Every structure is written in C-alpha cells, then in structure tokens.
Structure 1
Amino acid sequence: MELLVFDFGGTSVKGGVFQNDKLLDTFSFPTPSTWAEMKALLKNEQDKRQTTYSFKGVAISAPGVVLNEEGIIDGISAIPYIHHFPIKQELMDLFELPVAMINDANAAGMAEALRGAAKGLKRVLFLILGTGVGGVFIQDGQLYVGKHGYAGEYGMIFLEGEKTFSELGTVVRLVERYSKQTNEATKNLSGEIIFERAKNGDQIAQDEIQKFYRTLALGIFNLQVAFDPDCIVLGGGISSRATFLDEIKAEMTNFLKEKEWEYFAPELRQCVFQNQANLIGAVEYFKSIQK
C-alpha cells in the first residue's frame, strides 16, 4: 500500500511516501501563513508524485486536539488556521483520497509502540518531554484518546500543590528556575549550559537538575500506577541526551527505595525515532483504522 504522509509543524511541513513498509521520497516546506496556501502546497506535493505512485490514502500528523472521526482539529496550536472547521472533508476533496488525521504527539507514540522502542509489547505509554509534557497510551496497537480527545494531556497532572507536570518537569522550567536564582537572562541559558555547569561543580545547577529529575520521577510514577504499562517510552528533546535514561532510572530507583515501593518500578526506554516519528506514526494510525 502506497500512502502520502504529512506532518504539520509550526515552522515547517514534512512529508514523504510510505511504500512497502518504508518511508521514501521525503520532503519539507516552510509552513505557509494561510489555509489556501497550505492546500496549494499539499496538492502540489501530491501532483509531483502521481505518475510515480498509486496512492491509496493520505495520513496526516497535526498539532491540537485532532478528532479524526468528527473530521476537525479542536484546541489551539502554532498553526491557527487548521482549527475549528471540517478540515478532513476539505482534505479528502483536495486529494480525492481517504484521509486519516492524528495528533502529532499521538503519532510519535504510535511510531514507538508499533515500530520502535516498544515494538511487540501490548501496553505502551509514550511520554514526551518538550516545552510541555504530553503523550499517549496505546494498547493492542490501538490509540486511547478518551471521550473528548484529551487523553494524554499528562502535563496537566498536579504534582506539587497547584503546579503541574508541565510547570515543573521540563527543561524550559529548569532554565527559568536557574535564571531566577542566578539573575542571568534566560536568553543566555539553555539546558545544555546548565548541565555542563553542574558537571563543573555549579551547586545551583546541580540542585536544580536534581529537582528536575525528582519531578520526572514523581510524574512517571503516577503514570505507572495509573496505567501499569509494559513500558514507558521517553521522548522529546531531553531524551536525546546521552546520559538521560541512566539518570532518570537512578532517580526513580532512589525514589522507590525511599518509599519502599520497588515493586512499582516502571520499565523505562528511550525513543528510537526522532524527526520521522510523526510521519511513521501517522501512517500506522491510517493503517489501524482501515482494518
């Protein structure tokens, strides 16, 4: 089966062709400023490949609350013009093909669950640690989205008083806390800089990183006892750090030993796919709903 696949991003739109279980002929273009421009560019990518491939459908990964059955994208995102209208029907009319849409975080989770770090497992939770915290739960290859499509908004979990996982457990917040203590402008700091300073003996950096990992451990523990998955796959920018998995595992072990709850220890894995995760996951979602 040959599919055309797109990943709508705030700064660029990526795409490719899925053929014989492989992603081929990849491309990208800057995200346009209007829906009319977007449709013209999408159609152009299809037209350039019509004589080479026999497309059976179009798979799309997009930001926001993507409601495939209803055919709309709810919520808000960095691409405001894709929300709150029958976008799926317009895309089907544009391509003259079946279309399946999935949230970008959910797509990345499906890629890891079905083809990546958790391939072959029955129950998988994917946790994305980016500017905020999000993710998805997948069981038997099926995405759980909940009644309103909000399942996976793990960043909204309260961890400390009225502060959420997203407010406490991201590198962005780590940088902000460090900046406040050192009176340095956040624009001059980054996670990489703070980790390097900690390595060189900066006590404030070391303390803030320890708090960061403890917050992650608490959030992951809550998800473990709520879903009891076969494994939790960690993605997002911080997950590409070479020592990240060992560091979060060490903090999780310390936390569980303190509570004498070692039997709740989650199986933690690092994501396999990076830039192509959303494309691969969108294809897997298309295939899953065509069965």
Structure 2
Amino acid sequence: MLGDGKMELAVIDIGGTTIKFARWDGQALQDRTAAPTPKTLAQFYGLLANTVTKMKADHPLVGVAISSPGAVNQETGVIEGMSALPYIHNFPIKPELEKRFGLPLAFENDANCAALAEVKSGAAKGKQRVAMLVLGTGVGGALIANGHVEHGAHLLGGEFGFMLQNGKGVSAQATVVERVKNYEKRTGKQITGEALFTAATAGDRVAHEEVEGFFEALAEVIFNLQYSYDPEMFLLGGGVSRNPALIPGIERHMDGVFKKIEIATQRPVIKICQYTDAANLIGAVVNYEQHAE
C-alpha cells in the first residue's frame, strides 16, 4: 500500500509538452525532474529508457509506474484513442517499454491517476466511490469504484464531455474555454477566462450570462451523475478549480435543480482536488501498487 516502504519505483508522467520523472522511495516522491516531450517515438523511447537506466544504477527499482494520456487498455498494453502524442497510440507499447526498462510496468490514463491520488491520500481520502471532473478545454475525468478505476466496458468511464445537454455536448457548455468563445462571438471583444469572471462580477451582462451558464451546466451534470453513478463525493480539477467562485456558483444553481426535481433528496458533495502538479505521479504509484497486490 502507498507509503509502506516495500518498493522503489521509477515514476513517469507523460504530457503533451513535458514528461515528468520521479523516484518513489516507498514513502514519497524523490529526485523529481522534467524534460521536453520528444517529437518522435524513437526519441521518446530513448529519453525514458536512459532516465530509468540511470535510476536503476543508483537504486533498487522493482518497477516503473506511468501516467499517460489516452485510453490505456490494461489487458492489451495498448494506449487507445488520441492525444497530442500520436506516436504512442494504437500498438502494444507496454511490452516495448518493459523490454527497454528491464522492469515490469504498470500504466494508467492521466485523469484516472489523478483520481487515484485523491482517493488514496488527497481530498477524497478514504472514499470508495468518487467521480472526478477535470475542467479544461473539455470535460474529462474519472470514476472510482471500491477504490479502483472504473474503466467501463469500452474504456469510456469518465468521458463526461460526450454527454449531451440541451442538444449540445457537455464540453461545449461546461468549460470556461467555450464560454470565452461565446462571449467573444456575442460582443466582438477578446477576453481571458479569468477576465470573464471579473467582468461578470463587475456587471458586464454578457459575461454574467456566460459565467452563470457555466455554473448551471456543471450543476446539472453533477446532479445527473449523482442520480446515475451515485458517488460519495465529486472532485473538481483543472485550472478553473482554483477559482474560489466555482463551488459557490455550482451550489447556487444546484439549489435551482433541486427546486425542479423536488423528489430528489441526496445533494452532491463537491470538493476541489488537493493535488496539483504531482497528482499524476502519485496516482501512477497507486495504480502500480494496486496491480502488484
């Protein structure tokens, strides 16, 4: 289990622009470094293999834990789907990496890793059933059941952005990115996400409508998930999760949802993710340990 001191791991968080490395010493992350993400598969293999080889020379590593973009198929060792790194997808990459590392490997999707970190030792510590929404350019996330990732039959667990809401995808309504685009189309003015919230507070009618629409869309999505997946807790991640107006705004519109559905009594518990840049690394360790059990 996390922090029992039994295994040392090389830990890797693969991102579209940066790859983060660390060593798990059985208690905490050590020796954290980062490097620009390579442009080719050959360079990618070289960077990861060289970094792990150097760690192995100095420490008794027993395996490698990886957080990756894409739909990670645990059974086939293939990273399905698409991401900013097309060269890692749709072939058995796991055995190729294990061959180069000379160590067993466990890998998982990055959002799923972040959720595992929160459930193990973060904002949802001790919870068994959790839904995490990551609010970025789209709405992604993860589902946790019995402390483990719920992948779904087709690796679609947590793909909340594909849900429909008022005839549109959730990602088109419940992200600040899309609300900024709406504002710019409606006003002809350019604005940042942060400035959109400031303008809404200052009395800009269009900004206010877009921000309130964002809160309302999230409230409805969370309500629907409460009454379908029924988690103990919702976690919100992504850059906008650091905005102190986020949860109060959602809760305000949640009041309206409950007025519409008067028979509903279970109000969602909503919290902000505790971990930020280390979430994927920590979650990769949790995933490795779960597979080693």
TM-score between the two structures when normalised by the length of structure 1: 0.95
Identify the range of structure 1 (89-98 vs 193-202) with the bigger mean alpha-carbon deviation.
193-202
2:130 matched to 1:128?
Answer: no
2:236 matched to 1:234?
Answer: yes
Does the CA contact (< 8 Å) of 1:168 and 1:215 recur in 2? yes
The corresponding residue for 2:96 is: 90
Does the CA contact (< 8 Å) of 1:116 and 1:271 recur in 2? yes
Does the CA contact (< 8 Å) of 2:53 and 2:101 recur in 1? no
The corresponding residue for 1:137 is: 143
The corresponding residue for 1:149 is: 155
The corresponding residue for 2:184 is: 179
2:125 matched to 1:119?
Answer: yes
How far does the alpha carbon of each residue in 1:140-179 deviate from its partner, in whole angstroms, 9 at most, with x for none? 2111101221211111111112x11111110111001111
Does the CA contact (< 8 Å) of 1:68 and 1:88 recur in 2? no
How far does the alpha carbon of each residue in 1:96-155 deviate from its partner, in whole angstroms, 9 at most, with x for none? 111011011111111111111100112111111111111111122111101221211111
Mapping 1:277-288, distance limit 5 Å: 277-288=279-290
* SS of aligned partner of 1:221: helix
Q: Which amino acid aligns with 2:255?
A: T
- Evaluate the alpha carbon distance shift between residue 259 and residue 189 of structure 1 in structure 2; reply closer, same or farther with a 3 A threshold: same
Count of residues in Structure 1 that have an aligned counterpart in Structure 2: 287
Mapping 1:1-291, distance limit 5 Å: 1-161=7-167, 163-184=168-189, 188-261=190-263, 263-291=265-293
Shift of residue 261, structure 1, vs aligned partner: 4.7
Does the CA contact (< 8 Å) of 2:215 and 2:246 recur in 1? no
TM-score between the two structures when normalised by the length of structure 2: 0.95
Q: Percent of counterpart pairs with the same letter?
A: 43
Does the CA contact (< 8 Å) of 1:134 and 1:155 recur in 2? yes
Shift of residue 262, structure 1, vs aligned partner: 5.2
Unaligned runs of 5+ in 2: 1-6
Shift of residue 255, structure 1, vs aligned partner: 2.2
* SS of aligned partner of 2:158: coil
When the two chains are superposed, the root-mean-square deviation of aligned CA atoms in Å is: 1.2
Does the CA contact (< 8 Å) of 1:71 and 1:86 recur in 2? yes
Does the CA contact (< 8 Å) of 1:133 and 1:153 recur in 2? yes
Unaligned runs of 5+ in 1: none
* SS of aligned partner of 1:264: coil
